[in-house]
Every structure is written in C-alpha cells, then in structure tokens.
Structure 1
Amino acid sequence: MSDLPRKAVTRTAKLAALPLGFAGRATWGLGKRIGGKSAEIVGRELQQRTAEQLFKVLGELKGGAMKFGQALSVFESALPEEIAGPYRAALTKLQEAAPPMPTRTVHSVLEERLGADWAELFVEFEDKPSAAASIGQVHRAVWHDGREVAVKVQYPGAGEALLSDLTQLSRFARLLGPLIPGMDIKPLITELRDRVSEELDYGLEAQAQAAHAEEFADDPDVLVPAVVHQCEQVLVTEWIDGTPLSEVITEGTQEQRDRAGQLLARFLFSGPARTGLLHADPHPGNFRLLPDEENGWRLGVLDFGTVDRLPGGLPQPIGDSLRMTLDGDADSVYELLCEEGFVKESIDLEPDAVLDYLLPIIEPAEVDEFTFTRGWMRSQAARIADPRSPAHQLGRQLNLPPAYLLIHRVTLSTIGVLCQLGATVRLRDELEEWLPGFVPEDSADEELDEEVSAVEA
C-alpha cells in the first residue's frame, strides 16, 4: 500500500496551513516594524520565511504540490531581486530531488508490475533513487543486456495525491498569486489538474519518448534516451549522464550557459516540427548538458510525461503574428488575434495599443542574438503586473484560447529558464528554421529554389 493516500488528511492539513502561515508571518512582520526594524529588512525576512515554509511543504508532499512548485520554479526570474534570492534556493531544490519512498515500496511495485523474478531482469539495481519527482522516482540500474538504464517507478496512489493537492491549492490560488508578479496562478493549477491522467500513463509517456528518441537518434545537438521497457507504473529507459541544467544555472561557465540556452530554444521549436509533439515540462531538472567531442555540448532531454500533441507542428498563426508584429503591421496583427480568439468579439481594442503591448515581449526575436537576463524578465513582469500601466489594462482584456494554453506556458517557462541561465541566444535563427509563418512564404520559396539550384549544380 502507498503512504500517500493513507496520509491524505495530513497532506490536506499541511496545505491548508500554508495560508495561515502566510498570515501569521505578516503579523510577525508588522510587530517587527513596530519594534523599529525597517520595512525593507522585515520584508526580506518575511519572504525568506515564506519561501522556506512553502517549498519545504511542497517538496515533502510530492504529488500535485511538488508539481505546482516545479511549475513555479522556472518563473523565479520574474521576482524582484531582493525577493528572488530566498526563493531561488528553495525552488531549485524542487527541480532535482524530493524525499524518496521506502525501498520496500519500490520493490513491491516492481514485483507487482514486472513479476516475482523482477530482479533477474537487472544485472544491478540501486535501491537508493538517483532522482525523485512529483509522481515517481528514478533508480539507476543495469539491464540484463548490459545497458545502463533509468528505472522510473511511480508512487502508489500518486493520482489521488495529485488531484487532492491541486484541488486544495486551487482554493487559495489568490494568496499564491503575489509569488509571481503578472502571472495568474489559478489557470496554471487548473491545467495541471487537467493533465493528471495523461501524466500518470507511462504508456503514453513511453510513446512520446520513443518518437523523440527515434527522430533525434542521429542529431548532433539533442539526445533523447531510448525506451527499453514499459508497463503500468514502471518505465525503463537508457541512462544518460551529464550536468543537470539546474547546476549549469548555478555553477556553469558562460560558454555552457550560452550553449545550453541555444539548444533549449532549438529543442523547443524543432521538436513540434519534427515529431508533432511539444515537450511540455521544461523545468531545469528535465535537461542535462552532455560533453560532445564534435560540438562541445549536447542537450539531454528527459521526462515526456506531459506533451502537447501538435500534428502540424506549432500553429502557423504564432509565426504569422510574430512576423507581422516585427514588421509593425498593427492592423494585420490585430485582425489575426481576433480570428484566433485572443480578442473576444465583445472586446474592442486599438491595434496600435496591442502592438505596443507585444513589442517589448518579442524583443528577443527582433535581433540576431539576445541576452536573456533576470532583469529583462523582471521588467516584463513588472510592466504587465502594475495595475496603473497601460500594458496591465490591455493585458486584462486579452484572452488565451484553450488550444494555445499549454504552448503559452511552455514558451514562458522556457524563457524563464533562459533568463536563469543568463544565456545569449540566436533565437531568431531557430524561429526562421522551425516556426511556420515566421518567414514569409515568398522568402521561404526563394530559399528552397536556391537550395535546389545548388544541389543540381
């Protein structure tokens, strides 16, 4: 039996206590200020205590609580620097590890799913997990054919825990809102809830990973480990070493940061074009930077439990609207946004105002190369979050159609990671190569004709 459902009452109590803890610390902060401490010092101490409690609870609970914490972790770049420090340390812990489940529970799952003689499938099996995530943990092993493998074992009762946690978190989403300026927390939690069943299905995950592994098999830039075996609650894939992106963020050289950022952007935009799938969980714990003799570094990609199925690649209206915005064609941009449902029929906006809202956001696509920084991310968040700003007023009138919800979150999350890396990236190159509509069709046809002529010559 799992310890997760048995402790449902405890889990709910811990989550329900979080808002009370926030209120208690606010009272504590007021007392400190009355006692003579400055608002700045008290605010910093308050944020640090809040961060420590919030992410300690989320990490301990695994399930939906940790999934929510990981989703938030990529947005810490948007926090003001005096607040970001305490959160950064707490959030980073969620990207790589969580308290492990007992060895007896792991063996019980393996025996139930692989058979009583499960141990004979492995030459070696490490009982201590190498990584733990929201719904399962990974053990390093050697498969019976000699391959090093990662054995992903799902926590018994993970589904119930996910749904319970996310339901509880949604009840005080407004209190969590101030964690990330300019971000609406409730839709994020709703989307995580909607994808619970998909993420729990290791069969779907195996299919998505196998499709990527096959497509990227000979790719010089991206490595996706092959699927070795899959059954309910257990997924065995080839093992890959490398430096977790969370470590590159904290300790990597600028060369590593830039290379990781470029490859991350390349994978984000090339994946849907090449596989019809969008890897939709881009927190740093799911990526590795691997040394490569020819190209210096490759990007290892893990965890395909959450994907967006895009048979035609990323929707062409994204590329069209980006291109027209960069061209300053306000009327065409506005017309396209209306057609796609970003502006509801009952709303009437000034096209030039919409253009002014969009241009700062797409600045990285306007230049040959762009350095993503926490400062830039904070400036964007502050611009949209400030209730007095025109951007905030306009942003509240825009709509995010369901078909674009996951694409939007993945893009924002990836930009958040690029800002954590402080990477200089040639984003425009990736957009021109992989994003439908970004290059005008006439230009694309001319390039194709030139390539054909070169081959014929």
Structure 2
Amino acid sequence: MSDLPRKAITRTAKLAALPLGFAGRATWGLGKRIGGRPAEMVAREVQQRTAEQMFKVLGELKGGAMKLGQAMSVFESALPEEIARPYRAALTKLQEAAPPMPTRTVHAALAERLGPDWPELFQEFQDKPAAAASIGQVHRAVWHDGREVAVKLQYPGAGEALLSDLNQLSRFARVLGPLVPGLDIKPLIAELRDRVAEELDYELEARSQRAHAVEYSQDSEIVVPDVVHQSDQVLITEWMEGVPLSEVITEGRPEERDRAGQLLARYLFSGASRTGLLHADPHPGNFRLLTGDDPDGPPERWRLGVLDFGSVNRLPEGLPEPIGRALRMALDGDAKGVHELMRDEGFVKPTIEIDPDDLLDFLLPMLEPAQVEAFPFDREWIRSQAGRVADRRSPVYELGNQLNLPPAYLLIHRVTLSTIGVLCQLGATVRLREELEAWVPGFARDPEPEEQAAETSA
C-alpha cells in the first residue's frame, strides 16, 4: 500500500474516533450519574474529556482538521474557565505548529515545483520548517540576491485531504458544537469547505499579499512582507521577525497586549477600506508584534506584522455601509431604525415578527466595546456574551435563533467575531470606537449644523 492511501486511512480513523470517543464518555457519564454524582458536574467532566480528545486529534492532523481547530481556537476565550484551562495549551499549539514533512519530501516537492536546480535559487535553505500550518509549511531561507525569505510549500495532496477532512467533520458537527457556546460549527465547516479552492491557489494568495504590501508599504504601524517569487504550490515572501500573537497572549506584558490589540482592530477595519480585501483568517498565528531593536521602547513605535493571505473576502467598496449605520443607530437607541435596516438587509426575514425594542436589547450588550472610549476586552466579558446567547432558557436565545445571517455578511461576521475572540485572549484595552469612526462607513455621526457652518467658514 502506498503512503498516501495509508495516511488517508489513518486520518479517517482518527477523525472517526471523535464521535465514538464521545459516545464512550457519555456512557461513562451516565454511570457516574447513576452512582449519585450531580448531573452538572458530570456533564462538565464529559465536555472536558471530549474537548481534550478533540484538540489532541486535530493537533495531530493537517488539512481540514487543523483548519477547523485553528478557526475554533480563537473562540477559546468564550469557554468556561474550568473547561478551557486543561486544553488552552493545545489550542495555542494549533495556532503555531503541526507535524512537519520529512526533509526528503520537502526536497522532492521543491525539485518538482521549482526545477531540479532549485538549490541554486537560494544562498541558504533551512530544511527544518520554521512553521507548519493546515495546508503547507514554511522554511526560512536566503534568496539568491541576499534577502531573507519565507518559503511556503504546500503539502502534497493538501487539497484532497482538506476536502476529505471537512466532509468528515461536517458529519460530526453536533458532537463538536457544544464545546464552544454560541458558535454554530456546521456553517463554519461549510464556509471553510467553500473557500478550499482559494486557499490552495498560491497565485491568488500572491496577488492579495502584493496588494496589501503595496498599500501598507509606507505605513508606520502595519507591516506586510512583499512577495519575492511564486510558482505552483510554492510562495516565497520576505522574512519577517516578530513575536507571534500567540506568545503575546501567553507571556506578553500589559503594554504589549494593548498595543497588539489596538493594531489588530485597526488592521481589521482599515484593510477592507484601503485594499478592498478583508483578511479572513485572523487567528493569532498569522500576526506578529514587531518591537524592533528596542522591545522596552515606547509602545507607540511597535508595529503589527500580518501574514497569510490565502483566505480573503473581496470587498471592493470596503465594509458595507449598512453595518456602520446599524451600529450607530443601535448606540443612539434607535430601535425602530435598527429593526428596519436589519429587515432591509435580510437579517430579519419578512415572515418573522420581532419587537424592535427586544432586538435592541439583544444587540446592545454585544456593542459595549463601542460605547466607551476604551474597552478592556477579557475572557469574562466574552463568556458572559456567549452564555447569554447560548442559554436555551433565555428569551435572548429564542430571538437569536429567529435572526438570519445573509450570505454577503457571513465571512465579515466570522472575521469580526474571531478578532474579538483574539482581543479577549490578549486581555487588551482597545479604543474600538476610534477605529469604527475612522474606517467603517456609516458609523461616524454627521457633524451638527453649527459644526458644518464653522468648517465652511474656515
């Protein structure tokens, strides 16, 4: 049997073990309840054991399994602490690493994709990967002109593995769903599956990265490495030093957390406006905090490095103006206006009756970060929000289920939620309203007549 079929069988067996393992733990939990232990305590233990196994399996695999793990990992901050603590380290590992390809496989792939003389393209090439992700791994090297570069090499058979994993995982969505309150796993898997072709297309990724590199080339706060070379399943970009956000999350000082969080929010909202592209994979492994030669210097000099443009949302007009308008009306307490706008945009279907005041009460707690000058994001806040919308006994849960998410807003919604999840993991205090006013069309208040007159006369 060849290596590829054998690996596929192994992968499938590991994924299939997830629901089987869950069934075993559920049986164990039933026995514990019969033995007299409180049902809630037993349910917590079952959930914890399921989570530990799930992230262990996802961490051992590449392809769609790891892609799902990375997508879910940014919601770790929404989990109850007693559940999150045991496998937080596994989630962090998912954001930065996966088992690497053997060196002989790397060399064979480079020879096939860059030609048999590929070593002549480099002054140096490190066989040990600097990072490994869901569909490829990165090697540090020195290009023939002396530039330090990152060589991103796609795993052989990555496309087939990605689709196979996501198809398999979609059948287990009910098992995985309860691990992250308020997150519907099935649409997340479906969306990841829909974007497979884009993620595998390194030419498309190179174009997206070049567009960002050009736009941010003179920016004092956001850094995007330029593309050096691209060919089939190989993408070579300038190397970028910096502290991964996953390390800032686990070890960062308060000033590092706050600066990283502010710049992450700034990049999220400015990117679509400046490039017509929304970076759609905002897990911490794709960002670096660049402190330069003076990590103890003033934080306002630190910059945010952005990597991996394989998944982007094309928004040539920037973020949709109705988003900003709805946010502004909600903050101003205009329940009727919010209701009408959300119905016009398809969030409230014509056949659904929702009281405007109830809708506003549903939305306002989530908009708390935009109500103040600076908001301290933390795990406790996002857990309270996740618990509020996931509590089946609450009228909020019922109202949330009545709302619709139009396809045009699906990726914007996930990216925004993911970014908020990262801000809560960072524990960063962020001036979010400032970024909304600067970059989101429709959010900034129109100037008062007196202000307009003063501006005109000036």
- Tell me the TM-score normalized by structure 2: 0.94
**Paired residue for 1:13?**
13
Correspondence list, 1:23-102, <5 A: 23-32=23-32, 45-102=45-102
Match of 2:310 in 1: 305
Q: Compared with structure 1, are the counterparts of its residues 401 and 226 closer, same or farther at alpha carbon in structure 2 (3 Å cutoff)?
A: same
Aligned pair in 2 of structure 1 residues 236, 26: CA closer, same or farther (>3 Å)?
same
Deviation at 1:343, TM superposition (A): 0.6
Is 1:405 aligned to 2:401, yes or no?
no
How far apart, in 2, do the equivalents of 1:446 and 1:137 lie? Answer: 54
Answering whether residue 401 of structure 2 is matched by residue 388 of structure 1, we say no
Q: Partner of 1:362: helix, strand, or coil? A: helix
1:332 maps to which residue?
337
Distance 2:391 2:454 in 1: 49
| Correspondence 1:284-303 to 2 at 5 A | 284-292=284-292, 295-303=300-308
Q: Which runs of 5+ in 2 are unaligned?
A: none
Deviations 1:258-287 (CA, angstroms, capped at 9, x unpaired): 000000000000000100000000000001
SS of equivalent residue, structure 1 residue 360? helix
CA–CA distance in structure 1, aligned partners of residues 135 and 419 of structure 2: 22
How many residue pairs match? The answer is 453
Q: Which moved more, 1:408-417 or 1:386-395?
A: 386-395
Residues in 1 aligned to 2:196 and 2:432: alpha-carbon distance in whole angstroms: 32
Report SS of the residue matched to 1:288.
strand
Q: Look up the match of 1:231.
A: 231
Look up the match of 1:417: 422
Partner SS, residue 218 of structure 2: coil
- Equivalence for 1:192: 192
| Equivalent position to 2:346, from 328, 341, 346 | 341
Identity of aligned residues (%): 76
- Between the aligned partners of 2:423 and 2:206, the Cα distance in structure 1 is 27
- Which residue of 2 is the match for residue 202 of structure 1? 202
Amino acid at match of 2:240: I
Tell me the residue number matched to 1:367.
372
Change (3 A) 1:58 1:156: same
Q: For residues 207 and 32 of structure 1, do their structure 2 counterparts lie closer, same or farther at Cα, with a shift above 3 Å needed?
A: same
Q: Deviations over 1:154-207 (max 9, x none)?
A: 001000001000000001111111011111110000000000000000011101
Pick which of 57-66 and 290-299 moved more. 290-299
Report what 1:432 is aligned to: 437
Q: Output the amino acid matched with 1:204.
A: L
Residue 147 of structure 1 and its aligned partner are, at CA, apart by 0.6
Whole-Å separation in 2 of the counterparts to 1:447 and 1:288: 41
Compare 100-109 and 427-436 and name the one that shifted more. 100-109
Residue in structure 2 matched with residue 377 of structure 1 by the alignment: 382
Query: What is aligned with 2:280?
Result: 280
* Whole-angstrom CA distance in 2 between matches of 1:201 and 1:222: 25
Please give the alpha-carbon distance, in whole angstroms, between the structure 1 residues aligned to 2:399 and 2:4.
43
Distance 2:428 2:449 in 1: 29
Counterpart contact for 2:47–2:179, Cα < 8 Å: no
SS of equivalent to 1:229: strand
Deviation at 1:52, TM superposition (A): 2.8
The verdict on how the C-alpha distance between 1:324 and 1:170 changes in structure 2, with shifts beyond 3 A counting, is same
CA–CA distance in structure 2, aligned partners of residues 444 and 243 of structure 1? 47
Asked if 1:317 is matched to 2:313, the reply is no
Amino acid of the residue matched to residue 87 of structure 1?
Answer: Y
Secondary structure, aligned partner of 2:228:
strand
SS at match of 1:361: helix
Provide the secondary structure at the position in 2 that maps to 1:408.
helix
- Residue 218 of structure 1 deviates from its aligned partner by 1.3
The answer on whether the counterparts of 1:122 and 1:142 sit within 8 Å (CA) in structure 2 is: yes
For 1:354, give the aligned amino acid.
L
Root-mean-square deviation (Å): 2.2
CA distance in 1 between counterparts of 2:13 and 2:401 reads 34
Change (3 A) 1:449 1:72: farther
**Cα deviation digits, residues 9-48 of structure 1 (max 9, x gap):** 2222211111110111222334455567666765555444
Provide the secondary structure at the position in 2 that maps to 1:149.
strand
